[in-house]
Amino acid sequence: MSQELRQETAEQPESGLHSKGLSTGTVGVVGLVVIGISCIAPAYTLTAGLGATVAVVGTSLPAILLAGFIPMLLVALGYRELNNAMPDSGTSFTWATRAFGPMIGWMGGWGLIAATVIVLSNLAAVAVDFFYILLAQLTGNQAIADLTKNLWVNIPTTLVFIAAAAYISYRGLNATKVFQYVLVGFQVAVLLLFAIMAFTSSTPFDRTPISFDMFNPASVDSFGAFAAGISLSIFVFWGWDVTLTMNEETTDPAKVPGRGATWTVLVIIALYLAVSLGVLYWAGVGQTGLGAGNEANQESIFAVLSGPIMGPLAILMSLAILSSSAASLQSTMVSPARTLLAMGYYKALPPSFAKISPRFMSPSVATVVSAAAAAVFYVVTRLISENALWDTITALGLMICFYYGITALACVWYFRSELFASVRNFFFKFLAPLIGGVVLLVMFFSTAVESMNPDYGSGSAIGSVGMVFILGVGVLLLGVAIMLYTKWRHPAFFRGETIKTR
């Protein structure tokens, strides 16, 4: 299976670079677990995703978290196959193009860009919230924490955070090993501390005993709620697949990725269960006061609960979430920039997107565009939605289901001629990605239809159509429009001249 991505190299000067510039064999199992956890950013995903998930599934939260991992696993197995077959392209855009042709490939790339742009705006917003909460805790002046509710403070601060992350990723500054270990260790320790303090608290807000039913997916009220819950819990595991796709970087490519992925997911699931059970036990799912079902608490559950549960130690939680979301903000910024760069390079977008800064060796136009898109998305959502964080997370779940679904099916179609060549192929290239892809696309359509209801998510609506639907589907339609425009102005990619369909 040879690479047919064409590179426009006139001559072949002595660059010696074509072997990828990856440091080989430095990451062991522990290192991989740290990388996996840092990509998942549990402190951030829990504060952003837990409330929204409780809102749809109530006390079945643990069950949904467990069930949400399954499609993630199935899709990630397909990812691994594609990554092994085309290690140098490494993105939904090129994979889906090679499997399904330019149009679907383009939309797969757009889905990834949209998802990352949405998560960027959410990460920045969460970082800003906890930045002010932390300042309030440090100074003992509660009024500072409320500053984040003032749009004239909130929006400019968020834009500054986004700009800073874009600048750092443009300058190509990298996180070091020590930095990641400290960040991840601190995050995990604080989350565990939170769970322990929730269970040992003498004054729970609404003590809810842990029951077996909480782990039973069948106890969710409706299929719609189940689907919405799954698409949210996909978000909390988003990042895990990175452990499966790291090969050359590990000390033993045959063993380390598998073990690292397994340990990562065990640690993460244990952490999620501990924290979510702690939240349910302490706060219950009531819709009033500190209850996890209270709409006012849902956009950032720890912002509300860490104070009452952890007392003065709540400052640690603020630090953990601020550091985890700020670090993710920077590392996530690279993703849409690189996909835009790849799309520009293969002529799927105007050629200026393919510009690389010769000094910093990073995408220039693409980085600025990603940051600007995240900023615009944030400002628009913040201005028109009553509960922007909540709605963006739900829209994000939609988008992840969309591009993951397409990528998983791309795996099946790409390998169509060899699916039944061996038992291994049958499971990893056919069955797992097929089920995962179909499940995610079903979740996507189901959630999209549900979200047309104006009461969906935070209950914001334009006309009589739900905000989440407008955000999610609007972004996809915008993609279609840009695609058609590009097809008209720069048809080379759409004629299959730059990337060949297999």
Per CB under 8 A, residues contacting another protein are 3, 5, 7-18, 20-23, 26-27, 31, 34-35, 38-39, 87-94, 112, 115-116, 172, 174-177, 179-180, 238-239, 241-242, 245-246, 249, 328, 331-332, 334-335, 338-339, 341-342, 345, 354, 356, 358-359, 361, 363
Extract the tokens encoding 317: 């939680």
Q: Which is nearer to another protein, 54 or 396 (CB)?
A: 396
Q: Which is nearer to another protein, 333 or 461 (CB)?
A: 333
Closest CB 9 distance from another protein, rounded Å: 5
305 HSE (CA, 13 A, CB side): 36
Closest CB 182 distance from another protein, rounded Å: 11
- What are the Cα distances from residue 376, in Å, to 45, 91, 164, 381, 474? 22, 24, 16, 8, 14
Lookup result for tokens 């702690």: 278
Closest CB 359 distance from another protein, rounded Å: 5
Select from 120, 95, 121 the least CA-distant residue to 108. 95
Q: Which is nearer to another protein, 311 or 351 (CB)?
A: 351
Closest CB 491 distance from another protein, rounded Å: 21
- What does the DSSP 8-state code read for residue 221? S
Helix (H, G, I), strand (E, B) or coil at 27: strand
Closest CB 120 distance from another protein, rounded Å: 12
Q: Which is nearer to another protein, 251 or 262 (CB)?
A: 251
Extract the tokens encoding 465: 């159509």
Q: Is residue 409 packed enough to be buried (19+ CB in 10 Å), middle (13-18) or exposed (0-12)?
A: buried
Q: Which is nearer to another protein, 320 or 334 (CB)?
A: 334
Q: Which is nearer to another protein, 81 or 249 (CB)?
A: 249
Q: Which is nearer to another protein, 39 or 369 (CB)?
A: 39
Lookup result for tokens 């426009």: 8
Closest CB 118 distance from another protein, rounded Å: 12
Closest CB 338 distance from another protein, rounded Å: 4
Q: Where are the beta strands (DSSP E) in 48-137?
A: none
Q: Is residue 273 packed enough to be buried (19+ CB in 10 Å), middle (13-18) or exposed (0-12)?
A: middle
Closest CB 485 distance from another protein, rounded Å: 23
| Alpha helix (H) residue ranges in 294-363 | 301-310, 314-345
Closest CB 50 distance from another protein, rounded Å: 20
Q: Which is nearer to another protein, 265 or 305 (CB)?
A: 265
Lookup result for tokens 């969710």: 220
Helix (H, G, I), strand (E, B) or coil at 363: strand
Select from 401, 409, 373 the least CA-distant residue to 468. 401
Q: How far apart are CA 20 and CA 189, in angstroms?
A: 36
The answer to whether residues 31 and 243 touch, using CB atoms and an 8 Å cutoff, is no
Q: Is residue 383 packed enough to be buried (19+ CB in 10 Å), middle (13-18) or exposed (0-12)?
A: exposed
Q: Which is nearer to another protein, 134 or 242 (CB)?
A: 242
DSSP 433-499: HHHHHHHHHHHHHHHHHHTTSTTSTT--EETTEEHHHHHHHHHHHHHHHHHHHHHHH-TTGGGTSSS
Closest CB 442 distance from another protein, rounded Å: 21
Q: Which is nearer to another protein, 80 or 429 (CB)?
A: 80
Q: How far apart are CA 342 and CA 346, in angstroms?
A: 6
Closest CB 67 distance from another protein, rounded Å: 21
Q: Which is nearer to another protein, 112 or 309 (CB)?
A: 112
